[in-house]
Copies of this chain bind each other. A is one copy, B any other.
C-alpha cells in the first residue's frame, strides 16, 4: 500500500491537510456579533417567538423544512408490480450511527406485504424433535436481547462494478446499508425448544411476502448470534423491514436477514433457492462463481462532503463518514485527500460496536485546490478495504454483489463533490 502515513505528522495531502488533532478555534463559519449590535437585535422577533406554537402529536414527524431527506428508489421493471427493488437511505443528510426507522433502506422482491400480526404464524419444522408453531403473542413472551447492528444488501455499491463512474450521490451508491437497535428472541432458544436433529446443518428461512424470499442459513450462525426480531429502534419493526417479525443474522448479507419470517426448516444441506443461486452470487471472469458469501466485507465511505453536500469554501471542515464489517468491530479508518497516496487516521465514535455502523470523523484544512477524498477501513480481524482497482483485478467487472471497494469523491475548485474512479 503506497504512501501509508498513519502516525506522527499529518500528511501534506493534495488539496490540503488532514489531521485528527486540528483545532477548530476561530476558524469556522461563526460570525462576530458587531460591537454595537446587542444579541436581541441580532435575534430579532421571528414569528415563532410571538405566538403559541403547535400542539403535540401522537406519532411525530420531521420538520416541514426537512422534506428533502427521504428514501429514493428506481421504478420497477413492471409498473404493475411496484415495491420490487430497493429504497435507499440518504446518508448524505444524516449523522451519528443509528438510521431512523423511517429512513432505513428496504429491499423487497415481491412488494411490501400488509401482514396482520394476529393471523401471522412462525413455524419451526424439518429435522427437529418437536415441530413448533408460534403466534406473535407467544413469541413476545420469550427472553429477548437487543443489539445495534447494520444490515447491508448484498447488492450495495454494485454500481461501482460499472466501467464508467456515474454522476450520482452517496445515497445512490451506498444507500443500501443502515443501522438500528434490533430486539428479539435468540434463535438458539427457539431451536433448543424444537430440539435440533444432529443431521441438520442449515436453517431454511422463508418470508411471507408474495415472493417467498428464502435463504439457507448455516446452523452455526443460527445458534450463534441470530435473533428473531420484533423491535427496531424501540418500536415494532416497520412493514418495509419485516413486520411483524424478521430474522437478524448480524453481519451476514441483507437477504439472509429474512423479513416477514414465517418458516424455519431445519435441513441437512442448502435448499438452493432462487435467492441464493441466480442472485446474490458473484460471477468471476474465470467463469467460476462465488456462492454463499455470507459475511459482509469491511467497508467505509465519506458522507460529508459528498455529492450534493459540497465544501462551503477553503478552510477547516470536518470530514464525516461510516465504516462497518461483517467480521466484527472496525479497528481503524484512514482518510486520504490525494486519491490514496497518503493517509491519516480518523477518530472513531465510541462505542465501537461489532457488526454495527461506526461513525468516523477527521478535520480537513482544504486549500481550495482539487482533491480526491477517500476512506478505507480495517476491521478487528485485520481485513483492509481494497481499492476499486484491486477488487476488479480479483473479480473482474461482472460482480455486482459484495462490492466493498474504496469510494472516491473528487472535490472541484467550486467545492462540489463528485463520484470518480481513480
Contacts and interface: CB of A to CB of B under 8 A. Distances in A.
A72 B60 contact: no
How many copies, total?
2
Interface residues of A, number: 126
Contacts of A230: 95
B240 A138 contact: no
Given A25-B193, A97-B146, A98-B234, A64 B240 contact: no
A218 B98 CA distance: 30
Interface stretch (A40-48, A283-291, A390-398): A40-48
A31 B65 CA distance: 50
A33 interface: yes
A374 interface: no
A103 interface: yes
Interface string A62-75: 11111001111100
B231 A144 contact: no
A265 B29 CA distance: 19
A7 interface: no
A52 to B, nearest CB: 4
A113 B48 contact: yes
A211 to B, nearest CB: 9
Interface string A207-250: 01110100000000000000000110111101110011000000
Interface in A231-288: 231, 233-236, 238-240, 243-244, 260, 262-263, 265
A138 B236 contact: no
Given A71-B59, A112-B53, A351-B353, A138 B234 contact: no
B82 A52 contact: yes
Contacts of A110: 52-53
B30 A193 contact: yes
Contacts of A166: none
Nearest to A72: B58
B132 A30 contact: yes
Given A32-B131, A208-B46, A212-B49, A114 B58 contact: no
A15 interface: no
Contact of A48 (B61, B115, B240): B115
A98 B97 CA distance: 12
B146 A62 contact: no
Given A53-B209, A55-B83, A111-B54, A138 B63 contact: no
A318 B113 contact: no
A307 to B, nearest CB: 17
Interface stretch (A119-127, A336-344, A403-411): A119-127
Nearest to A87: B56
Given A85-B56, A94-B231, A49 B189 contact: no
Nearest to A117: B65
B104 A320 contact: no
A142 B210 CA distance: 47
A159 interface: no
A32 B132 contact: yes
A142 B317 CA distance: 7
Contact of A54 (B83, B125, B260): B83
Given A28-B138, A30-B134, A102-B235, 11 more contacts: A31-B132, A33-B125, A46-B119, A53-B83, A56-B73, A60-B104, A65-B118, A66-B236, A96-B146, A102-B102, A142-B318
13 contacts: A24-B142, A25-B193, A32-B130, A39-B123, A49-B212, A51-B210, A54-B83, A56-B85, A58-B71, A65-B116, A65-B117, A141-B317, A141-B318
